Amino acid sequence: MEDKKYILAIESSCDETSVAVVSLENDLVSNVVASQILSHKRFGGVVPEVASRHHVEQIISCMEEAMTAASVTVEDLEAVAVTEGPGLVGALLIGISAAKAFAWANELPLIPVNHMAGHIYAASYVKPLEFPLMALLVSGGHTELVYMPEHGEYKIIGETRDDAAGEAYDKVGRVLGLEYPSGKEIDELAHQGNDTFNFPRAMIKEDNLDFSFSGLKSAFINTVHNAEQKNETLDRLDLAASFQASVVEVLTKKTLDACGEYPVKQLVVAGGVAANKGLRQGLTDAFTTSFPNVELIIPPLNLCGDNAGMIGAAALVEYKKNHLAGWDLNGNPGLSL
């Protein structure tokens, strides 16, 4: 390819092995995602050792496939980016080892990237990010409101005090007998039912920007177990719809509060749960009414879940700041923004 330069980005923090090629102008040229979900389903969650083993098996072919799909060779590359954390340490280490070996062998700089920053920067493929910016980050491990005054600067202004939203979806799904991860399926069931159970909306009236989903999860599980003891059958569609209505209402209310408190130019909704149709619709309706002058960006579904494209976009920001890693880069499972 001409004189254009590219970054090879690698993501392996959880259960997707992913490699992407991104141009220095932030064009996503290829984004290969090898999911391991089928292997984890029968255990009802991600098994760290199984995840690491899959990453080892997949990483080289994903790197080759991403470069072939982008029609780039090693000479076209400017740098290698990799997820440093947060995530499963064994899983992170596979991506980091591959990135280090490739970068060292080819004399390329290594860019360390925070996975959660990656989720936010997935939105930059939809529109250029403008600051100040608010991000609602909703994934399997995190539920956070993040205020960004500038590129690469993050201030967590609200977060969950217990379960993450995606985690609550997955736990409730298990009670309904659904396979892991169950967020997508509950979303589909919810659209066919009605909010009849009136589950709690935790912390919605409190004057802070924090979340709590464990009370909702317990209310849901108790409702199902009580009915089982009485040999009653509850409507699964209404259960799903009631659960989702509570999650969407709380996420929407707190996000609107955050944007009221911190005036911003854009709101980004990111992470696996940002794929939720109910949330996308509910938040868009409420937000465009309350904040018609703030631009709302929710990335397309393929960029909401874990993927290396988002890591490449966040890496460009770090690269411009000359934030590079040494050859001693280690996985950091608890890395914060």
Could you check whether the bond before residue 299 is cis, i.e. omega within 30 degrees of 0? no
86 contact, one of Zn ion, ligand KG4, none, CB 5-8 Å limit per kind: none
**Any contact of residue 139 with Zn ion (CB under 5 A)?**
yes
- Look up tokens 């719809």; give the residue: 241
Candidates 85, 112, 118, 141; binder of ligand KG4 (CB under 6 A) is: 141
The one among 95, 112, 299, 305 contacting ligand KG4 by CB under 6 A: 305
- Paired strand residues for 10: 19, 82
Name 86's Cβ contacts closer than 8 Å, sequence gap at least 6.
Answer: 13, 114, 115, 116, 141, 142, 332, 333, 334, 335, 336
**Toward ligand KG4, which CB reaches closer, 98 or 165?**
165
Yes or no: say if 103 and 134 are a contact pair by the CB < 8 Å rule: no
Residue 169 interacts with ligand KG4 (CB under 6 A): yes or no: yes
Helix axes 236-261, 183-190, angle to 10 degrees: 100
DSSP state of 292: T
Length of the chain: 337
Segment interacting with Zn ion, rule: CB under 5 A, options 43-51, 71-79, 136-144, 310-318:
136-144
Letters for 171-210 (x = contact with ligand KG4 by CB under 6 A, - = none) are: ----------xxxx--x-----------------------
Phi and psi angles of residue 264, each rounded to the nearest 5 degrees, phi first: -135, 165
Residue stretches of the annotated binding site for substrate:
137-141, 170, 183, 187, 276
Q: Which residues bind ligand KG4 (CB under 6 A)?
A: 14, 139-141, 166, 169-170, 181-184, 187, 271-273, 275-276, 305-306
Residue stretches of the annotated binding site:
115, 119, 137-141, 170, 183, 187, 276, 306
Q: Which residues bind Zn ion (CB under 5 A)?
A: 139, 306
